[in-house]
């Protein structure tokens, strides 16, 4: 009885293990292939749900069905016009044929390494075939003019290709090289670009020189305008001073004329009063110095004789 029970238990365990080893579940984010002794068997499984395999003989290799991310390394790349720049890129990709992917690449780690070679190489080729302006700009847009003086200062050079077109070129070339790998690159973009240190310093120096030139131009125009304003001010000031001086002289002349007339009139009036005063004082002095017994002798050239003679 114990032997039969043990046998039943062993058979049950074997049955459970066999059933468990013959069934696997595929969710909506996965796709898979079945291998036998390391070789693929049958078509890839891409439909979510319950699937079967031969236990102990088949193994299931799962692959992601979702979009995957590729992040490139920051590399130094020369442009067609010999400008060295650092380029940082990224892309998105997916496994389109899991069977081909397994045969050529085996796993995602190998796929990432292969994409490093393909995308980095195509990036170098694309950038080396175009000038720097085509790499950093996308369109021949008109510069935004916020001030009138910027119309003559901000002039953008024309580009023939553009950054977006170069990204499309890299994407197309990469997909040509990944067609037999069971993967497809969905999108490729330049994440960041910058000059190498030596070139960056020269660019900064050129930018500083250009801005200094613009500042000197503004300063020169400002100084010219300041001199014009100063000249106009001095001319207007001289004109105002001249007119004020002329008006002051006219006022002074009229005042002098009026003062002269007043002085003349006052002088005439004072002259008569002085003569009367002198006469009265003379009479008063004679009255006090002489009486009826006093006799005086006057010469003909004395002032008093002339005065008395004039009264006759």
Q: What is the CA radius of gyration of the chain?
A: 59
Instruction: With cut-offs at 50, 70 and 90, classify the pLDDT of residue 172.
Output: very high
Q: 104 vs 25, 38, 100, 248, CA distance in Å?
A: 25, 13, 6, 108
Q: Looking at residue 279, what is its pLDDT? A: 67
Q: Which CATH number fits domain 68-141+158-195: 3.90.1150.10, 1.10.10.10, 1.20.120.80, 3.30.479.30?
A: 3.30.479.30
Mean pLDDT of 25-39: 86
Q: What predicted TM-score, i.e. pTM, was given to this entire model?
A: 0.59
Band of residue 190 on the pLDDT scale cut at 50, 70, 90 = very high
Mean pLDDT value across the chain:
80
* CA separation for the pair 13, 5 (Å, rounded): 12
Q: Taking 60 as the threshold, does the pLDDT of residue 33 lie above it? A: yes
User: pLDDT at position 271, please?
Assistant: 63
Residue 122: its pLDDT value, please? Answer: 94
Biggest distance spanned by C-alpha atoms of the chain: 206
Q: What is the pLDDT of residue 176?
A: 94
Identify whether the C-beta of residue 71 lies closer than 8 Å to the C-beta of residue 90: yes
At 7, the pLDDT band (50, 70, 90 cuts) reads low
Instruction: Choose the most confident range, by mean pLDDT, from 136-140, 187-191, 246-250, 296-300.
Output: 187-191
pLDDT at 261: 76
> In the chain, what are the domain boundaries?
2-63, 68-141+158-195, 225-312
User: Can you read off the two tokens belonging to residue 218?
Assistant: 């503004």
Residues 97 and 254: their CA atoms lie apart, in Å, by 115
Q: pLDDT tens, 103-134?
A: 999 888 999 999 999 999 999 999 999 988 88
User: What's the confidence (pLDDT) of residue 70?
Assistant: 95
Contact assessment for residue 214 and residue 221, using Cβ atoms and an 8 Å cutoff: no
Of 14-28, 80-94, 209-223, least confident by mean pLDDT is 14-28
* Type and span of the H or E element at 50: strand 49-52
Residues 6+ apart with CB under 8 A from 55: 17, 18, 19, 20, 21, 22
For 244: left if phi > 0, alpha if psi spans -120 to 50, otherwise beta; the answer is alpha
Tens-place pLDDT, residues 212-241: 888 888 888 888 888 889 888 888 888 888
Please give the pLDDT value at position 184.
Answer: 95
């Amino acid at each position: 009885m114990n032997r039969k029970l043990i046998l039943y238990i062993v058979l049950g365990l074997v049955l459970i293990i066999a059933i468990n080893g013959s069934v696997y579940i595929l969710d909506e984010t996965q796709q898979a292939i079945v291998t036998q002794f390391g070789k693929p068997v049958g078509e890839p499984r891409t439909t979510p749900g319950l699937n079967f395999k031969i236990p102990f003989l088949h193994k299931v290799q799962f692959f992601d069905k979702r979009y995957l991310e590729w992040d490139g390394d920051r590399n130094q790349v020369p442009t067609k016009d010999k400008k060295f720049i650092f380029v940082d890129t990224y892309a998105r990709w997916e496994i389109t044929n899991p069977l081909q992917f397994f045969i050529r690449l085996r796993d995602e780690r190998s796929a990432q390494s292969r994409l490093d070679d393909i995308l980095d190489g195509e990036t170098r080729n694309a950038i080396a075939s175009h000038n720097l302006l085509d790499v950093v700009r996308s369109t021949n847009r008109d510069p935004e003019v916020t001030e009138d003086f910027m119309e003559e200062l901000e002039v953008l050079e024309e580009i023939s290709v553009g950054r977006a077109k170069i990204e499309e070129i890299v994407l197309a070339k990469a997909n040509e090289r990944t067609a037999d790998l069971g993967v497809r690159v969905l999108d490729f973009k330049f994440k960041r670009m910058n000059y190498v240190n030596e070139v960056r310093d020269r660019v900064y120096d050129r930018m500083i020189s250009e801005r200094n030139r613009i500042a000197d131009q503004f300063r020169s125009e400002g100084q010219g305008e300041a001199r014009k304003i100063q000249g106009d001010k001095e001319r207007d000031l001289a004109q105002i001073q001249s007119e004020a001086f002329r008006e002051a002289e006219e006022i002074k002349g009229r005042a002098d004329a009026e003062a002269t007339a007043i002085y003349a009139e006052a002088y005439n009036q004072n002259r008569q009063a002085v003569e009367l005063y002198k006469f009265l004082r003379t009479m008063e002095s004679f009255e006090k110095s002489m009486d009826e017994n006093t006799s005086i002798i006057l010469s003909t050239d004395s002032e008093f004789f002339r005065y008395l003679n004039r009264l006759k």
